[in-house]
A = this chain, B = another copy of it.
Amino acid sequence: MATKKPTARPSVPAFERPLVTVDVVIFTVIDEQLKVLLVRRLDAAGDPHPGRLALPGGFINVDVDASLHDCALRKLGEKTGLQTPYLEQLGSWGSATRDPRGWCATHVYFALVPPPETGEETGSKAPPVSEWVEVDTALRKRLAFDHAEILAAAVERLRGKVEYTSLPAFLLPEPFTLPQLQRTYEIVLGRPMDKSAFRKRMLDAQFLIEAGSIAGDAGRAAMGYRILDRERAAVFPRTFRSVEVLSTKD
């Protein structure tokens, strides 16, 4: 075991403690595109990667944050004001070199939120410190730290789980219709889906409750739905299209 015992305090290591942060990958769909929320890093003395785009996040404050999950919820609330997001742990990244300030481990969460109300961006303050960036565009940018790698992992996880879960429902404001939900699946996965198969699958999974008819811009009105249990996503018995291989490492 690594629990060497220095003379001073037994059982707690004498060597330096790593820096600990929490980052959140926040997805939504705006203008028929899957987008991720990024923040512009400050140009302050000692701050690494000034001016670069980064995932929202920051250091754990042991006096404020009761747990990792609470810390992620707090950061998400600060950025979006959302109260009932879908929030799931993605993983952790830690090494001696990923932050110039020292050995640093980050706990990464990913969140699915409905798009912000039109007109305002994210907050109502003047400076656009945060912006929604189309995911494939964001993947091509040079983000701060190893955030490009983390974002890639989040997108892979999202696209992977969308094949067999109801995750895209959390990207829509309620109530939503089945055609809207299908469109969201198609946007996230980047391919068209068959209407009949899609509807059978959604309704058979029993995770939606009817919420009255909703009229669109044209044509027949559609049934509106709400998510039955916002705490968890439904899992379908078969995937839409089979994936090949799960990777252990990067």
Residue of chain B at shortest CB distance from A247: B232
Stretch at the interface among A192-200, A209-217, A237-245: A237-245
User: By the criterion CB–CB under 8 Å, are A246 and B233 in contact?
Assistant: yes
A187 near B: Cβ within 8 Å? Answer: no
Kindly state the separation between the CA atoms of A105 and B229 in the bound complex, as whole angstroms. Answer: 29
Given contacts A20-B17, A61-B13, contact A56 B244 (CB under 8 A): no
Q: Name the prevailing secondary structure of the A interface residues.
A: loop
Kindly state the separation between the CA atoms of A75 and B161 in the bound complex, as whole angstroms. Answer: 31
A131 near B: Cβ within 8 Å? Answer: no
Stretch at the interface among A1-9, A133-141, A177-185: A1-9
Partner of A61, one of B2, B11, B87, B94: B2
Partner of A246, one of B11, B20, B165: B165
A126 near B: Cβ within 8 Å? Answer: no
User: By the criterion CB–CB under 8 Å, are B68 and A95 in contact?
Assistant: yes
A77 near B: Cβ within 8 Å? Answer: no
Name, among A46, A63, A245, the residue most crowded by chain B CB atoms within 10 Å (CB to CB).
Answer: A245
User: By the criterion CB–CB under 8 Å, are A46 and B9 in contact?
Assistant: yes
User: By the criterion CB–CB under 8 Å, are A59 and B2 in contact?
Assistant: yes
A249 near B: Cβ within 8 Å? Answer: yes
A101 near B: Cβ within 8 Å? Answer: yes
Chain A residues proximal to chain B, CB less than 8 Å = 1-3, 5, 9-13, 15-20, 39, 42, 44-48, 56-63, 65-69, 75, 78, 86-89, 91-97, 101-103, 105, 107, 161, 165, 204, 206, 229, 231-239, 242-249
28 contacts between A and B (CB under 8 A): A3-B59, A5-B44, A10-B46, A11-B45, A12-B59, A12-B102, A15-B63, A17-B17, A17-B19, A18-B20, A20-B94, A20-B105, A65-B96, A68-B92, A87-B248, A87-B249, A88-B248, A89-B92, A91-B92, A94-B107, A161-B246, A204-B249, A232-B246, A233-B246, A235-B242, A237-B238, A237-B239, A237-B242
